[in-house]
Structure 1
Amino acid sequence: MAPGNNFKSRLSSALFWSVVSAAFIGPGTVTTASNAGANYGYSLLWALIFSTIACIILQEAAARITLISGLSLGEAIAKRYKNSKGLFFKYFIFLSILIGGIAYQAGNILGAIAGLQLLFGFDTKIVTGIISLLCAFLLWFGNYKIISNLLGMVVAFMGFVFVFIAFNIDLDWYALLKGAFIPVIPDGAAWVVIGLIGTTIVPYNLFLASGISAGQEMNTMRFGIVSAILLGGLVSAAILLAGTTVAGDFSFESLKTAMESKSGSWSGYLLGVGLFSAGFTSAVTAPLAAAITAKSLFHKDDDRWQENKKFYNGIWLLVIVAGFLFGVAGVKPIPAIILAQVINGLLLPVACIFLVIIVNDSTIIPGQYLNSGLSNYLLLAVVLITTFLGLNNIFKATLALFNLPNHHFSVIVILCISVAITIAIAYYVRKIRIGVKT
């Protein structure tokens, strides 16, 4: 039997790669997906399906870079851009991932606390400190495999809870299929769409996948990533369906009430457990991913960026402390969590562009392992869609800030700009594939 093709190795790989689904099935997914279901019914299911497929494509490409070249994604970017321009790119990527990680960590901590508040009464500041210290303990003394296996079991349990609830809802199958396969963006839902994409395709997860993939077998890696992310997508869809049962304004309490009315009081308690589990697991992976990104970008320049060295530990500690400060500041969890997903969604096109460049760079990836034509079309489609959504939302936010009217033709202009950017990237990729100096 070929290495990596037996059942045990595949199961082990699926559990190992569940660290990726654990990272995106956090409070952001619970909040954004259930909020989408509560306010827009089934109509945004297509966004979850798109983001799940796109997440598989991007994570596989990031892991493949490391398995083929021996370089993590950050190291590959550092190798390609060696001059002063490269230093700018490295810091730009690092700061983008760090900002996204801090925003995500704030939502993680607030979500974990919100889950516990559904179950018990307590001093939130003390619990925030306990959660932060426990995350720091795991990152200081743990290793990737132990953390991956722990998070995989928690994600599987949480997934069972939401899938069970979804199957106990009286579903409108026509509306469900329509929402799953006909893309529409209802009025006011544009930010929710990019939040759904941002909470599934977390930019720092690309660096996390690359950083932990070394030493794996290619087919086993692919099986693990596909199965883990499909599980995450299924859980996300189940959370959205659970959200459709909410009547009136969305809140965690109203979601709990709606679930209890459909499935009994026990489901409300399981919501609290699931929300806490989602927050805690992601509160470990967000600082871990930020530190791995920093290490991959800078460790060749300074040994202190190596794992368990001064700067490496400083990055994950910074992210944890930032989350702790948000937790004790009394910030309202739902707006903060949704905002974190939007920030990650806006950063996503940047990460996608660098990924599609590296996976086609003939100086890093041997010719026979360069991205296939089909993979490139899929990656460029992700770049186009995420760029359009990001630019469109930035444009709308700017109009709202200055109280300016919005015109429908602006969508066409933004689409044309997004297409032009994607074509330019495709042309650039074509040049680097054949070794033309750029």
Structure 2
Amino acid sequence: MSGPGRAATFGAMFMMATSAIGPGFLTQTSVFTVQMGAALAFAILLSIIIDVAVQLNVWRVLAVSGKRAHELGNTVLPGLGWFIAVLVFIGGIAFNIGNIAGAGLGTNAMFGMDPKLGGLLSALLAIGVFLSKRAGVALDRIMIVLGAVMILLMLYVAIASNPPVGEALKNTVAPENVDFMVITTLVGGTVGGYITFAGAHRLIDSGVTGPENVGRITKTSVAGIIITGVMRILLFLAVLGVVSTGVALAEDNTAADAFYHAAGEVGLRMFGIVLWAAGLSSVVGAAYTSVSFITTQKTQPRNRNILTVIFIAACAVLFLILGTAPQTLLIFAGAFNGVILPIAFALVLWVAWRRRDLLGGYHYPKWLLGVGAIVLILEFYLGWNSLTGIADLWN
């Protein structure tokens, strides 16, 4: 492979995937499986299709232009990029408190360690990645390793739970129940907020840009969604295998209970490893992406790493003060997610449609633009619902 190394491309792919696979991802998928049973298979399939449509457009436009989302926004409309950056940064702080909390709970499940101590140690490990003299290489490698660990452990538990695969396959094409809010929640958890930009910004920082790299950009963007989809499918099957036997899972920690019933005490320890890896990788991904939105490509890597360390440290301090991610913060972060993606995605589609000059003269596929436009309408609907939900909360 010529140009930037294979590790950088894989790093971008796993950056996006592991950023999506956080503590919230594990909880959402587990709870929805209990609620919908095998019918969730259809929701997962449809959400993956929508995720691919979003990510293909976002990664292609950003990487071909060679500009990060906020840089592109400021080029199209001065100030728009910084507006998006503020939303991403505030949402990133709130979510990273939750990610550190998730990593702490993972160490508790693994070793019985105090969650605050475990969260703090995990945050320090994340800081160590960015303090490394070869932070870029370390970042790519840790994301790949954590992603692989999560998938392999999830595969083991999915097999151990002996799920009704035939019933799941049937519901993939002929669902017994369809819940569009579940589908939209899954989409938001995969490509919402900062997540879809994590890998795209990593590609840009690694030098995989320009029309000549469209093939690599496309393959990497789709592969990132596939990794996330595989993880969600394995978790779905693991929980489905348990609930199909009639076991009632604990409502306050559904995923952990599913692992315990599937593989006993070993399963519970495995859940701790998965939760810790999900939390740590999301801490790294959220920090990297949040800081990438408040810096430019002219910012020296050393200065960017220092800012990232400060970001993680501040989130860790807030975690120690607050104990866990407060509900209000997470609700607001969810609202920001609902607003960030449609605004940024509209920007991406506008550039693809009207600003070929920013794409080096690249002829953007009309079919991809059309699919993106359909998804954008759905996103604006979801974004509006996010805002009205917050208004209702405070009334």
Q: TM-score, normalised by structure 2?
A: 0.83
* Match of residue 414 from structure 1: none
Match status 1:251 vs 2:252? yes
Match for residue 199 of structure 2 among 209, 231, 238: 209
Query: What is the identity, as a one-letter code, of the residue corresponding to 1:160?
Result: L
The whole-number CA distance in structure 1 between the counterparts of 2:8 and 2:324 is 39
Relative distance call for 1:116 and 1:343 in structure 2 (3 A) is: farther
Deviation at 1:396, TM superposition (A): 5.2
Match status 1:309 vs 2:309? no
* Match of residue 416 from structure 1: none
Give me the CA root mean square deviation. 3.3
How many residue pairs were aligned? 381
Match status 1:152 vs 2:152? no
Unaligned runs of 5+ in 1: 403-438
SS in structure 2 at match of 1:294: coil
The whole-number CA distance in structure 2 between the counterparts of 1:280 and 1:243 is 23
Match for residue 235 of structure 1 among 201, 206, 231: 231
The whole-number CA distance in structure 1 between the counterparts of 2:329 and 2:259 is 23
Match status 1:72 vs 2:65? no
Match status 1:263 vs 2:263? yes
Relative distance call for 1:128 and 1:396 in structure 2 (3 A) is: closer
Query: What is the identity, as a one-letter code, of the residue corresponding to 2:35?
Result: N
Deviation at 1:282, TM superposition (A): 1.1
Match for residue 155 of structure 2 among 158, 163, 171: 163
Relative distance call for 1:350 and 1:240 in structure 2 (3 A) is: farther
Q: How does 1:332-411 map to 2 (within 5 A)?
A: 340=333, 343-360=336-353, 361-367=355-361, 369-395=362-388, 398=391, 402=395
The whole-number CA distance in structure 2 between the counterparts of 1:390 and 1:147 is 31
Deviation at 1:371, TM superposition (A): 2.3
The whole-number CA distance in structure 1 between the counterparts of 2:42 and 2:336 is 20
* Match of residue 84 from structure 2: 93
SS in structure 1 at match of 2:111: coil
Query: What is the identity, as a one-letter code, of the residue corresponding to 2:158?
Result: A
Query: What is the identity, as a one-letter code, of the residue corresponding to 2:197?
Result: F
- Checking the alignment, whether the CA contact within 8 Å between 2:20 and 2:190 is kept in structure 1 is yes
Match status 1:131 vs 2:122? yes
Query: What is the identity, as a one-letter code, of the residue corresponding to 2:89?
Result: L
- Checking the alignment, whether the CA contact within 8 Å between 1:34 and 1:239 is kept in structure 2 is yes
SS in structure 2 at match of 1:309: helix
Relative distance call for 1:222 and 1:319 in structure 2 (3 A) is: same
- Checking the alignment, whether the CA contact within 8 Å between 2:104 and 2:116 is kept in structure 1 is no
Deviation at 1:341, TM superposition (A): 5.2
Match status 1:223 vs 2:219? yes
Moved more, 154-163 or 269-278: 154-163
| CA deviation string 1:262-307 (max 9, x = no partner) | 33432221111011011011111111111112223xx6xxx6x543
Aligned sequence identity (%): 22
Deviation at 1:328, TM superposition (A): 4.4
Deviation at 1:21, TM superposition (A): 0.7
Query: What is the identity, as a one-letter code, of the residue corresponding to 1:208?
Result: A
- Checking the alignment, whether the CA contact within 8 Å between 1:28 and 1:340 is kept in structure 2 is no
Relative distance call for 1:219 and 1:333 in structure 2 (3 A) is: same
Moved over 4 A (4+): 9-12, 179-186, 332-343, 396-402
* Match of residue 104 from structure 1: 95
Deviation at 1:108, TM superposition (A): 0.9
Relative distance call for 1:327 and 1:348 in structure 2 (3 A) is: farther
- Checking the alignment, whether the CA contact within 8 Å between 1:66 and 1:73 is kept in structure 2 is yes
Larger gyration radius, structure 1 or structure 2: 1
Deviation at 1:230, TM superposition (A): 0.4
Unaligned runs of 5+ in 2: none
Query: What is the identity, as a one-letter code, of the residue corresponding to 1:347?
Result: I
* Match of residue 28 from structure 2: 32
Relative distance call for 1:76 and 1:12 in structure 2 (3 A) is: closer
The whole-number CA distance in structure 1 between the counterparts of 2:111 and 2:308 is 32
Deviation at 1:15, TM superposition (A): 5.2
Relative distance call for 1:40 and 1:127 in structure 2 (3 A) is: same
Moved more, 203-212 or 92-101: 203-212
Match status 1:143 vs 2:135? yes
* Match of residue 411 from structure 1: none
The whole-number CA distance in structure 2 between the counterparts of 1:165 and 1:68 is 40
Q: How does 1:286-325 map to 2 (within 5 A)?
A: 286-296=286-296, 305-309=299-303, 313-314=306-307, 317-325=310-318
| CA deviation string 1:386-431 (max 9, x = no partner) | 22233235445645765xxxxxxxxxxxxxxxxxxxxxxxxxxxxx
The whole-number CA distance in structure 2 between the counterparts of 1:195 and 1:56 is 15
Query: What is the identity, as a one-letter code, of the residue corresponding to 1:157?
Result: V
Match for residue 109 of structure 2 among 112, 118, 130: 118
Q: How does 1:189-200 map to 2 (within 5 A)?
A: 190=181, 192-200=182-190
Query: What is the identity, as a one-letter code, of the residue corresponding to 1:321?
Result: A
The whole-number CA distance in structure 1 between the counterparts of 2:199 and 2:137 is 13
- Checking the alignment, whether the CA contact within 8 Å between 2:62 and 2:348 is kept in structure 1 is no
